[in-house]
């Protein structure tokens, strides 16, 4: 099955009751396509939902990563009224449009906010409104949908998913009325395989020309079509109960970036702050002590069983952690490498000696000195209590804090990505053999 289906020019993509299919996209001058994510700070269902961590990434980070990596947009924006959301948006590569109080109310509509954005950014000719609550969006979805406007002349494109659900008319209990079927004949219920189902908006994105927004006040109109997404990518989050379900879905179907490796061969892990709490205990005699969690030790062994080499990183400024690392290395058969103030300088030779590229390396750090390596590694993570500067650089933020299972959690994440890659390679092999 193809990853998606899209409607090309024809009656199938035209919405009932839409304005005549006049092509409003024929504006003079250069085209400027802007991705726009609306992220108000005043979410009622889940406070600051747009930057709450989902599977180790701020919710808005999932769609921003897909938008940036699609290479389809002249600019990528987040429209917000909140300082914390602005900070996260910039860390994930977006420009920020500070919306006015007039469009930041509970009663404000998406269309009002988009109109303000277009008014303030007159160079924009196509607005691609991407919903922050669609974390399973991939670059190929955006690319294929946008091409319906840029290559096929549509004025608006929106995402849908195919549902096989029978609908019934709602009735008030006190009315005494009987319900009636809306999309089936009860005496002749079709089997799922005999029914095409119905196309429903899944809320992932709405792409529209500037002219349609400004002149007609519409997000869907003119020459309009839909872009069909498979159900596994159609995830929307409105209330807290959606969160754990969405997290499991995103771990399996989410987009983790262009640099995500198919296989991790080398894992580099800071001992201080990752395998320890970052605290040093003093005994009555003045002896310094640190502790390590047995779950983290198991995480190291899990990686080793899958042929991932684990290297422990220490600092000359932390002799207590050095002693712990040496003992742990003996128990787990790990190499210990001492790094200085700029870890990348000490770790580049380690990677080169193994004839690896950085996208086949996983890195777990805990603070500002780790930022360059966190950015460079194919998979990178920080404990849940890491400072913001490290969280913004990492591709995954653990729920667990340092010294309390963060390493084990990241190990499971690495192995899950490996399993996904293996499954995809097997599927590719089957697809190729079918030709």
Question: What is the model's pLDDT at position 422?
Answer: 63
Neighbour tally for 251: CB within 10 Å: 17
pLDDT exceeds 90 at position 123: yes
DSSP state of 223: S
Hey, which CATH number is domain 266-422, 3.30.300.30, 3.40.50.620, 3.40.309.10, 3.40.50.1000?
3.40.50.1000
Mean pLDDT value across residues 182-208: 92
**CB 278 within 8 Å of CB 317:** no
Catalytically annotated residue among 189, 258, 279, 354: 189
User: For the residues 212-220, what does the mean pLDDT come to?
Assistant: 94
Nearest alpha carbon to residue 378 among 392, 365, 364, 360? 360
pLDDT per residue as tens digits for the range 258-276: 655 457 899 999 998 899 8
The domain defined by 4-166+195-253 folds into: Spore Coat Polysaccharide Biosynthesis Protein SpsA; Chain A (3.90.550)
Residue 63: which of 9, 2, 128, 18 has the closest Cα? 128
Per-residue pLDDT band for 430 (boundaries 50, 70, 90) equals very low
**Least confident stretch, 36-40, 154-158, 174-178, 198-202:** 174-178
pLDDT tens digits for range 308-365: 999 999 887 777 677 778 888 888 889 999 999 899 999 999 999 999 988 889 999 9
Q: Are strands 53-54 and 57-58 parallel, antiparallel or unpaired?
A: antiparallel
- In angstroms, what CA-CA distances link 35 with 41, 49, 71? 19, 20, 11
Q: Which residue has the tokens 């889940």?
A: 46
Predicted local confidence at residue 289, as pLDDT: 63
Q: What is the structure's pLDDT at 130?
A: 97
Residues 6+ apart with CB under 8 A from 266: 308, 309, 311, 350, 351, 354, 356, 360, 361, 362
Asked whether 363 and 374 are in contact (CB, 8 A), the reply is: yes
| Residue ranges per structural domain of the chain | 4-166+195-253, 266-422
Question: For 120-124, 142-146, 159-163, 238-242, which range has the lowest pLDDT when averaged over its residues?
Answer: 238-242
pLDDT band with cut points at 50, 70 and 90 for residue 208:
very high
At 137-165, the pLDDT tens digits run 999 999 999 999 999 999 999 999 999 99
18 confidence band (pLDDT: 50, 70, 90):
very low
Q: Determine the pLDDT at residue 8.
A: 38
- Check if 4-166+195-253 and 266-422 are the same fold: no
Mean confidence (pLDDT) of the chain = 84
Residue 57: band (very low, low, confident or very high) from pLDDT cuts 50, 70, 90 = confident
Known catalytic membership, residue 167: no
């Amino acid at each position: 099955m193809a990853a998606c289906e899209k409607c090309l020019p024809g009656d199938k993509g035209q919405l009932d009751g839409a304005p005549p299919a006049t092509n409003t996209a024929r504006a003079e001058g250069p085209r400027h396509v802007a991705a726009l994510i609306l992220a108000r700070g005043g979410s009622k269902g889940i406070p600051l939902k747009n930057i709450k961590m989902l599977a180790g990434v701020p919710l808005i980070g999932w769609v921003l990563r897909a938008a940036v990596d699609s290479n389809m947009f002249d600019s990528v924006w987040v429209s917000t009224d909140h300082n914390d959301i602005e900070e996260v948006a910039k860390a994930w590569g977006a420009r920020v449009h500070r919306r006015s109080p007039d469009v930041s109310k509970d009663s404000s509509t998406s269309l009002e906010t988009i109109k303000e954005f277009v008014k303030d950014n007159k160079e924009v000719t196509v607005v691609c409104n991407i919903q922050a609550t669609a974390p399973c969006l991939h670059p190929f979805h955006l690319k294929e949908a946008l091409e319906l406007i840029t290559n096929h002349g549509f004025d608006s494109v929106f995402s849908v998913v195919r549902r096989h659900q029978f609908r019934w008319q709602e009735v008030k209990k006190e009315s005494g009325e009987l319900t009636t079927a809306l999309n089936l004949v009860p005496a002749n219920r079709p089997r799922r395989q005999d029914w095409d189902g119905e196309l429903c908006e899944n809320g992932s994105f709405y792409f529209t020309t500037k002219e349609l927004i400004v002149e007609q006040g519409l997000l869907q109109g003119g020459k309009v079509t839909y872009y069909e997404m498979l159900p596994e990518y159609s995830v929307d989050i409105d209330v807290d109960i959606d969160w754990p379900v969405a997290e499991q879905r995103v771990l399996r179907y989410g987009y983790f970036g262009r640099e995500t490796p198919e296989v991790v061969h080398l894992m580099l892990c800071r001992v201080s702050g990752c395998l320890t709490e970052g605290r040093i205990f003093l005994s009555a005699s003045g002896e310094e002590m640190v502790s390590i969690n047995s779950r983290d030790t198991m995480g190291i062994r899990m990686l080793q069983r899958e042929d991932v080499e684990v290297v422990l990183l220490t600092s000359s400024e932390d002799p207590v952690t050095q002693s712990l690392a040496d003992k742990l290395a003996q128990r787990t058969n790990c190499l210990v490498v001492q790094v200085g103030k700029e870890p990348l300088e000490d770790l580049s030779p380690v990677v080169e000696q193994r004839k690896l590229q950085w996208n086949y390396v996983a890195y777990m750090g805990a603070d500002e000195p780790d930022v360059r390596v966190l950015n460079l590694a194919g998979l990178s993570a920080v404990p849940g209590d890491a400072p913001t500067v490290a969280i913004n650089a990492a591709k995954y933020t653990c729920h667990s804090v340092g010294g309390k299972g963060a390493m084990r959690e990241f190990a499971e994440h690495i192995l899950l990505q490996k399993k996904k890659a293996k499954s995809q390679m097997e599927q590719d092999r089957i697809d190729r053999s079918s030709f």
